[in-house]
């Protein structure tokens, strides 16, 4: 038996680390790994670049050119005045009937439409009166129909039979009376028997005559006078029924116009009336409302300045709350008499395009513009305006060479959905309407639709 030495034993071991590594193969593997990493980096950069330059779809609008009065605002203004914004027509809605409030469907500040239910009163009594009037009306209508159609053939036949029977009874009473008279003369019957027979005959005669006349009337038909009287009664009770129905319907108080609830004057369970109102008695009106799209500015103009206002019917309105917003207006009312104590004349200026920023009782400043400075009468300057939806925090995005360029602008007055731009834009430029929140300066854009 041959004994294995240490060298032979080492050759029999299992190698776990593989064959000896070739230095050239290791350099080749490193080169492939570096090339793969470089390719991945280039692909990542290309993907990010493509994502960043992918155009964003937007809607663009053109900047419009408008004419404004020449000269400065101070040169065009003939008078400045201050006053308060009021609703042109404020309605204190009262109830037509008296009653206790059962339901209230609106709160202060809510917008309502014309005809909308606002308040309901308890209606049990009014409903009972309506049912009573309806019953009386239906009864009279049935009686009128009976008179107009006249008696039925069956009723006439019955009346004739009753009349014939009465004639037979009369004939029998006449025979009995004759017999009794003969016996009374001979003394067989007493005078009392003769009196009874005569009374019975008279009763039979009267009954027969009554039934005969009734038959004659039924055969002739109802008189026109009776029909006219019945018709008059029906008309009278029709009016009573209509009135009761109107009173019941008036327990539901509806909005006469569309507008905003300015004040809610009642609570559930309170009593409302349509008559005299005391300090702590029943309420005289339930809500007050007004159309806030129809606003005016009330001004007290000194009599010394009244001539200036009379020469102008154009004005610009602004408020202390939003001094950067200006609204076009014009004079709609001049008081027919002056206030002797104040030495003023009240004037109302209508705001042509009010928005949600204006509220009744806000203080307002009104600049009256010289009439000669109106467009088409005197030389004018050119300004621009855009839709208000394109402006966000005094900035816009202008579309230049397929990219959105952010630009600051100076805003002027606003009219409706259009905003005047005093500086920062030129007529004909395209701006992004309703810019998305993700849009940034320099982003690539593609116009989806031009309005």
Q: Determine how β-strand 287-290 pairs with β-strand 295-302.
A: unpaired
- The residue-averaged pLDDT of 286-308 equals 91
- How confident is the model over 26-53, as a mean pLDDT? 58
Q: DSSP string covering 37-55, please?
A: HHHHHHHHHHHHHHHHHSP
**Burial classification of residue 271, based on how many CB atoms lie within 10 Å of its CB (0-12 exposed, 13-18 middle, 19 or more buried):** middle
- Report pLDDT digits (tens) over 321-338: 888 888 989 899 999 999
Asked which of 37-41, 143-147, 167-171, 190-194 is least confident by mean pLDDT, the reply is 37-41
Rounded to the nearest 5°, which phi and psi values hold at 391?
-105, 130
Residues 6+ apart with CB under 8 A from 83: 297, 298, 299, 300, 363, 364, 366
Q: Which percentage of the chain shows pLDDT scores above 70?
A: 79
Average pLDDT over the chain, rounded to an integer: 81
Q: How far apart are CA 425 and CA 65, in angstroms?
A: 10
Give the sign of the dihedral formed by CA 442, CA 446, CA 448, CA 451. positive
* The pLDDT of residue 31: 66
> Which residue has better confidence, 449 or 355?
355
Residue 186, pLDDT > 60, answer yes
Mean pLDDT of 401-423: 83
Q: Does position 226 have pLDDT exceeding 90, yes or no?
A: no
Interatomic CA distance for residues 328 and 5, integer angstroms: 114
Q: 152 burial class (0-12, 13-18, 19+ CB within 10 angstroms)?
A: exposed
pLDDT at 420 over 70: yes
Instruction: Name the pTM for this structure.
Output: 0.54
114 DSSP assignment? T
Which neighbouring-strand residues pair with 432? 60
Nearest to 259, CA basis, from 115, 442, 152:
115
Give 106's Cβ-side CA count (13 Å radius): 26
- Relative to beta strand 445-450, strand 56-62 is parallel
d(CA 59, CA 407): 17
- How large a percentage of the chain has pLDDT more than 90? 36
pLDDT score of 53: 54
E strand or H helix at 140:
helix 124-149
Left if phi > 0, otherwise alpha if psi is -120 to 50, otherwise beta: which for 175? alpha
- The pLDDT of residue 114 is 94
Residue 171 Ramachandran class (φ > 0 left, ψ -120 to 50 alpha, else beta): alpha
């Amino acid at each position: 038996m041959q004994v294995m030495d240490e060298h032979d034993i080492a050759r029999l071991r299992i190698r776990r680390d593989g064959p000896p590594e070739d230095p050239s193969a290791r350099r080749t593997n490193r080169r492939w790994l570096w090339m793969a990493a470089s390719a991945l980096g280039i692909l990542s950069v290309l993907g990010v670049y493509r994502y960043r330059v992918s155009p964003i779809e937007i809607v663009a609008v053109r900047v419009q050119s408008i004419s404004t009065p020449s000269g400065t605002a101070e040169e065009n203004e003939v008078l400045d005045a201050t006053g308060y914004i009021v609703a042109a027509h404020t309605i204190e809605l009262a109830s037509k009937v008296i009653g206790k409030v059962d339901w209230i469907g609106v709160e202060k500040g809510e917008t309502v439409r014309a005809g909308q239910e606002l308040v309901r009163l308890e209606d049990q009594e009014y409903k009972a009166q309506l049912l009573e009037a309806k019953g009386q009306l239906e009864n009279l209508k049935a009686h009128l129909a009976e008179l107009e159609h006249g008696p039925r053939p069956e009723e006439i036949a019955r009346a004739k039979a009753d009349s014939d029977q009465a004639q037979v009874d009369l004939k029998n009473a006449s025979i009995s009376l004759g017999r009794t008279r003969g016996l009374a003369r001979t003394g067989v019957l007493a005078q009392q028997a003769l009196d009874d027979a005569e009374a019975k005959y008279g009763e039979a005669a009267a009954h027969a005559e009554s039934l005969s006349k009734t038959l004659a009337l039924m055969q002739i038909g109802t008189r026109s006078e009776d029909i006219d009287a019945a018709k008059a009664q029906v008309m009278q009770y029709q009016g009573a029924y209509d009135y009761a129905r109107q009173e019941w319907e008036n327990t539901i108080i509806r909005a006469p116009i569309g507008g905003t609830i300015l004040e809610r004057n009642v609570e559930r369970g309170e009593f409302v009336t349509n008559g005299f109102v005391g300090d702590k008695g029943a309420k005289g009106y339930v809500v007050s409302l007004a159309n806030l799209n129809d606003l005016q500015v009330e001004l007290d103009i000194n009599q010394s300045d009244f001539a200036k206002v009379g020469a102008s019917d154009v004005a610009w309105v602004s408020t202390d709350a939003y001094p950067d917003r200006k609204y076009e207006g014009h004079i709609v009312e001049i008081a027919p008499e002056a206030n002797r104590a104040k030495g003023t004349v009240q004037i109302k200026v209508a705001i042509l395009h009010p928005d949600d920023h204006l509220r009744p009782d806000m203080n307002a400043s009104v600049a009256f513009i010289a009439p000669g400075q109106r467009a088409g009468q005197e030389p004018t300057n050119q300004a621009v305006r855009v839709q208000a939806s394109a402006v966000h925090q005094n900035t816009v995005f202008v579309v230049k060479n397929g990219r959105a360029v952010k630009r600051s602008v100076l805003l002027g007055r606003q009219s409706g959905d259009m905003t005047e731009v005093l500086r920062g834009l030129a007529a004909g430029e395209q701006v992004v309407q309703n810019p998305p929140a993700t849009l940034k300066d320099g982003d690539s854009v593609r116009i989806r639709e031009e309005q």
